[in-house]
Amino acid sequence: MKYVLTNILWLGILGAVLQACLTPQSEKEEKTAETEKFVTSQGQKFLDPEGQQLILHGVNVVNKEASTNYLGHVSKADFQQFKQWGFNCIRLGVIWDGLEPEPGLINEAYLKGIDEQIAWAKEAGLYVFLDMHQDLFSQKFADGAPAWATLDEGKPHIADGPVWSDAYFTSPAVQTAFDNFWINAKASDGVGVQDHYANVWKKIAQRYANEPTVIGYDLMNEPVSGSLYLQSMPFIAARLAEVLHETDGEGSWSVEQIGQMWSSPEQRVQVLQKLNDIEVYAATIDTLNHVFQAFEKEKLMPFYQKVANAIREVDNKHILFMETNINSNMGVLTGIEPLMTGKGMRDPQQGYAPHAYDIVVDTDLGGTPTFERVELIMQHHYQSSQRLNMPMLVGEWGAFYGTSNALPAVSHMMKEFEKYLCGNTYWEYSDLLNEPTYLSAIIRPYPMQTVGNLLAYRTDSNSFSCIWEEPEGQTGATVIYLPFAGQIENTEVVFTTGKGISEVKMIEPGRPEGYLVIPSLSQGGKRELNIRLRNVL
């Protein structure tokens, strides 16, 4: 049965539901430790405090500049803008160097700056998960660990590759610093560097243990295996040479040629073009599975467990987000396992937070990734989330930096998120503030919260559809973000299954963005909604 949406206010139940579902988090309940409610993970879903399924969609906010104390790059107005764009989640970076500039000394001024940003998020109705960020391990080389925790043994830092991340291959200093971190080598005060890291997380968790705006802790950004990373290159080159010999015959490249070509910005493009063949690509990266899964088992998971144990001493309410080793960003299958409690049971609050980047990221080809490779990366991440039985939030993707030709790539990635019903946070916020052409693909309708089980949703150029199943007797409302809500007269809302009534709630007077709020049906059942868009998107 068709229902054309009108501006009639449905009082009573709908009014109460609107108030409950769209009131800012800070007003939902009394703010005491005893009554706080938190976002939780349940199986492969995130649930809001009312038990409704969440799709987390947002952006990374990370300041890597030591000169500004890693603060001052974002404003309260930016967080309000994020809300208008339909975001409900911020991946907020914290930097170890900012947190612990000297061994055991916690930088209170930096934490107060983080407090302020969390307060801005709360006021805007946004959730936050904290990301302990690093690139090339340390602020000595990029960002992350303080100098005192960077045990590079005086090795040289060589970073002359065409892409910043090439230094993971070329810099003995970066490799050695990671190697010493993974063995928990002692800092100058006699305490292991991992132990310092875990204690910093404990301080953070203690500070935000009763803050529901914070939904969890991303334990380390893009963990790297150290010198093992360098040792992986021969595996890649040998396997690629083998595969190319099978496909191209005698005229294919040797292992030595591949290594030399990868070091040249111009010739690297030729190697990347060979990897456009998805069978060649899959066969090449599969050879790395055992290498980096062994690292995850022997080094990464014990480290994650140490940090988790420290956090759980002071906070058992927040979600622990685990990333893969950095190579899984490009599709290598991860081997991480669930975290455990001190009683040997699976920790109930965990999330899977991989990153998804095609191998052309940060190159001149960054705006035109190969869709088949991206699909393989996402397929592998989804398989891992199922194996782990954890909800998936892709913590980083994008990095298009205003590229004029990236709209198809962004649209394709959003379709992948729709396919797997997973959350995502785009890298990174300053890119979007310039309103690049592909921003329109990120600001799109989606079910922010769903009563019951979200089964599928999809946005096309002229329609939005959503299917979900409500349990009998569950109260609440399904809330769909609409960037065009102010033009609702150009839209028809059709319930093809499970009739219902809906109403629009505008985010801000005079702006087009808003929410479609659909109260649950007392009898429950499957519901399907279609919104026909008429010259809106």
Domain encompassing residue 498: 1-36+445-537
pLDDT for residue 350 is more than 50: yes
Q: Taking the model in full, what pTM does it have?
A: 0.92
Q: For a pLDDT cut of 70, what percent of the chain falls above it?
A: 91
Task: Identify the CATH number of the domain in which residue 62 sits.
Answer: 3.20.20.80
Residue 413 in domain: no
Residue 142 in domain: yes
Residue 350 in domain: yes
What average pLDDT does this structure show over 471-489? 89
pLDDT of residue 240: 86
Verify that 387 and 528 share a domain, yes or no: no
Verify that 492 and 388 share a domain, yes or no: no
Residue 243 in domain: yes
For the stretch 219-254, pLDDT in tens is: 999 999 999 988 888 888 888 888 887 877 756 788
State the CB neighbour count (10 A cutoff) for residue 287: 17
For the stretch 15-24, pLDDT in tens is: 444 444 444 4
| Separation of CA 252 from chain center | 38
For the stretch 100-157, pLDDT in tens is: 999 999 999 999 999 999 999 999 999 999 999 999 999 999 999 999 999 999 999 9
Verify that 274 and 132 share a domain, yes or no: yes
Q: For a pLDDT cut of 90, what percent of the chain falls above it?
A: 77
Verify that 268 and 133 share a domain, yes or no: yes
Residue 137 in domain: yes
pLDDT for residue 30 is more than 50: no
Residue 365 in domain: no
Give me the chain's average pLDDT, please. Answer: 91
Give CA–CA dist 83/504, Å, rounded.
16
Verify that 27 and 80 share a domain, yes or no: no
Verify that 195 and 272 share a domain, yes or no: yes
Residue 362 in domain: no
CA distances from 16 to 9, 116, 182, 250, 448 (A): 12, 31, 53, 73, 19
Residue 11: pLDDT band by 50, 70, 90 thresholds?
A: very low
Task: Identify the CATH number of the domain in which residue 519 sits.
Answer: 2.60.40.1180
Verify that 97 and 130 share a domain, yes or no: yes
For the stretch 435-453, pLDDT in tens is: 999 999 999 999 999 999 9
Output DSSP code: residue 216.
Answer: E
Verify that 19 and 107 share a domain, yes or no: no
pLDDT of residue 497: 81
Verify that 53 and 66 share a domain, yes or no: yes
| Look-up of token digits 């080793």 | 325
Verify that 122 and 180 share a domain, yes or no: yes
| Separation of CA 426 from chain center | 7
Could you give the number of structural domains in the chain? 2
Give CA–CA dist 513/507, Å, rounded.
6
**How far does the chain reach from its first CA to its final CA, in angstroms?**
25
Residue 404 in domain: no
For the stretch 181-215, pLDDT in tens is: 999 999 999 999 999 999 999 999 999 999 999 99
What average pLDDT does this structure show over 407-424? 99
Verify that 503 and 379 share a domain, yes or no: no
